[in-house]
Chain A
Amino acid sequence: GAGVSQSPSNKVTEKGKDVELRCDPISGHTALYWYRQSLGQGLEFLIYFQGNSAPDKSGLPSDRFSAERTGGSVSTLTIQRTQQEDSAVYLCASSLVSGGALYEQYFGPGTRLTVT
């Protein structure tokens, strides 16, 4: 079946502009995660959704970052007033949640964001 998809694959934006990154998880995966990968910081967790609610937003670096998920499916990560330090690859992942089992997370191809 289809994997996790993300769009756009690349985004170049000017400092101060807002950007929206989209993630479409694997069908049936109720858990959705956003991570950020940058040279200086490695792979960092941003936010986790279970269905449409976000029980863990602890990784969002500032109030310029927000995310939502609708219909238990597609999620959008929004960065307002982008800064150069926001340049990174933004990765989305989804996983199955069933009973008490721990399931692996499947990652999308990422969105490379460059803030000029």
Chain B
Amino acid sequence: AQKITQTQPGMFVQEKEAVTLDCTYDTSDPSYGLFWYKQPSSGEMIFLIYQGSYDQQNATEGRYSLNFQKARKSANLVISASQLGDSAMYFCAMREGGTASKLTFGTGTRLQVTL
């Protein structure tokens, strides 16, 4: 089974609208972290937001928020007030167990922000 599943290969959103990018995960480890990264066409991976498995509150960072539903094993990224510069690939990733273990990535969602 895939550890991280992103079912939306591509998404369109109008400027200034909100958009939700889906991510579901699979793990039996009680301690894990969920991450979202943005990869613009230039190629660099930019860290956006992190949610720990024991965190009670949903993570927020500026216009980014993570809708964490532990029982459903989902960690959707919500981008509010989309901007043209948000057009990029977005990857959901999970780290299981140890404090410095590897990231397992989903296949990504390409977001296109339109005027």
Same complex origin of A and B: yes
Instruction: Please report A residues at the B interface, Cβ cutoff 8 Å.
Output: 30-31, 33, 35, 42-43, 45, 48, 50, 56, 59, 89, 91, 93, 95, 97, 99-110
Known: A100-B99, A104-B47, A109-B43. 20 other contacts (CB 8 A): A30-B100, A35-B103, A42-B106, A45-B102, A45-B104, A48-B102, A56-B101, A56-B102, A89-B43, A91-B45, A93-B103, A95-B100, A101-B99, A103-B99, A103-B100, A104-B35, A104-B50, A105-B47, A107-B37, A107-B47
Flag if A42 contacts B105 (CB, 8 Å).
yes
Complex formed: what's the CA distance from A103 to B50 in Å? 9
Please tell me which one of the listed residues A45, A48, A89 contacts residue B100 in the complex, with CB atoms under 8 A apart: A48
Pairs across A and B, CB under 8 Å, 20 listed: A33-B102, A33-B103, A35-B103, A45-B102, A45-B103, A45-B104, A48-B100, A56-B101, A97-B99, A99-B99, A100-B99, A101-B99, A102-B99, A104-B50, A105-B35, A105-B103, A107-B45, A107-B46, A107-B47, A108-B44
Instruction: Please report B residues at the A interface, Cβ cutoff 8 Å.
Output: 33, 35, 37, 43-47, 50, 52, 91, 93, 95, 99-108
